[in-house]
Amino acid sequence: MTSRSSMRAEAVPAGATSVVALLMAVVFLSLLDSQIVATALPRIVADLGGLNQFAWVTTGYLIAGSAAVPVYGKLGDLYGRKRVFLVSILVFLAGSAACGLAHTMTQLIAFRVVQGIGSGGLFISVLSILGEMFTPQQGARYYGWFSLTFGAASLTGPTLGGLLTDLAGWRSIFLVNLPLGALVVAVISIRLHLPAQRRRARIDHLGVILLVAAIVAVNLLTTWAGSAYPWTSPVILGLAAACLLLPVLFVLAQRRAADPIIPLRLFGNRTFSIVVAVGFVAGFLGLGIVNYLVLWLQAVLSLGVQASGYLLTAMMLGVVLTSYASTKLIARTGSYRRHPSASMVLFALTGLLCAVVDAGPVLATVFLLLFGIAGGLNSQALSLAARNAAGRDDIGAVQGTATMARQMGTALGTSFFAALVTGKLPARPGPPPTPTRCTWSSSPSSRSR
């Protein structure tokens, strides 16, 4: 994907570490918010009602964040990444404050959408800022911090959510974002210095509308198909048609736009095209399968909820530690081309082992660790490769497109494996038996969303 010589070793600018630490604090808030709310949902429903709507407290946040990512990436290229980052965190904080003051479930869902729009901008803005602050090899020293931040949010989110809800009420899980967010805004405004943007802004409004509509359609399809609505219902068929038509219209619009959201010329860069393709496949196969590992552990291996949680924690630690070690190795050697390839091979090997090997708890732990290592090998290497494929004016568009490809792969992969799982259910009435092989279709589907 790139040669060793393309990654230059240079000194990191003075004071960069403290700025990056603050940026990671914001990423932590964004990631934590998707974890912490789940713990408080029963208390929220008891207070506000709306049991039939509560799933949208999480779903609305995730869909809004996914749709915002590529748009914020392009806006950063046009208006300056620092400015767009500050706008996104202000939107996130405004949504947090509104969520903390909501009086009905409908209000809370609407404010969570606002919060999600800000959250999507935070993540992609931080990636783009790192891409502008550092060369790829310098940035490799810090991209591993994303994995540590993700791990910290995943581990502390449920516990912190329960603690805050018990001590200060569910509204505190949103209001706690305000003081730290305000501190970050103040410090970043003063300490972060990036070259001024001199480009004349020409927003591709039609492209934004079509892209956001396509992302929302894909997310709604993967969320509703087979659960809220049957696969053959008019709603699902309409969403499926939109998922096919909107991307075509978007590409046509990008060909005519003066300054497109996703410049099609970027696909002329071989590295960028590979990053997008590998990111989509990694999301589809790797993360799509991971969504059903808990069902495999409980329905196939007959493990309890607590034991399954321990094994999934081991897998997550594998992701975090491998990703961090991978970025350190990239920073030292200046080469990342082997990491995504090794990740795909390991994903395939682990899936094969699960399909043909009789697994007990010990082997299941090994398999989950292998899944975690596979995920960690490419999680930040693809971001570094995307950064290396971009000129300064396209960092946001490149990172946004690469991130969107992985998210869309995950959404479609989750839906695909859900269809495989539910397709086996008619042949297995009653409680699922304990088979002698590890398969991915032994239990009903579910989604974290």
How large is the average pLDDT for residues 353-363?
Answer: 76
Whether residue 10 has pLDDT greater than 70:
no
Q: Under CATH, domain 267-449 is a member of which superfamily?
A: MFS general substrate transporter like domains (1.20.1250.20)
- Whole-number percent of the chain with pLDDT over 70: 82
Domain ranges of the chain: 16-201, 204-258, 267-449
Whether residue 142 has pLDDT greater than 50:
yes
Beta carbons within 8 Å of 3's beta carbon, 6+ residues apart: 335
Higher pLDDT, 128 or 111: 111
What average pLDDT is seen over the chain? 78
Could you give the 3-state DSSP secondary structure of residue 262? Answer: coil
Q: pLDDT band at 209, cuts 50/70/90?
A: very high
Check: CATH 1.20.1250.20 for 16-201? yes
Judge whether 188 and 86 are in contact, CB under 8 Å. Answer: yes
How large is the average pLDDT for residues 338-344?
Answer: 81
pLDDT of 53-107, one tens digit each? Answer: 777 888 888 888 888 888 888 888 888 888 889 999 999 999 999 999 998 988 9
Could you give the 3-state DSSP secondary structure of residue 46? Answer: helix
Give the pLDDT confidence score for residue 238 in this predicted structure: 93
Judge whether 255 and 264 are in contact, CB under 8 Å. Answer: yes
Give the pLDDT confidence score for residue 76 in this predicted structure: 86
DSSP letter for 150, please.
H
Question: What is the pTM (predicted TM-score) of this model?
Answer: 0.76
| 16-201 and 267-449 agree in CATH topology | yes
Q: pLDDT band at 446, cuts 50/70/90?
A: very low
Measure Cα distances from 177 to 30, 54, 172, 431 in Å: 9, 21, 9, 43
User: 431 phi and psi, to 5 degrees?
Assistant: -60, 140
Higher pLDDT, 9 or 186: 186
Whether residue 388 has pLDDT greater than 80:
no
Give the pLDDT confidence score for residue 241 in this predicted structure: 94
Whether residue 33 has pLDDT greater than 80:
no
Give the pLDDT confidence score for residue 197 in this predicted structure: 61
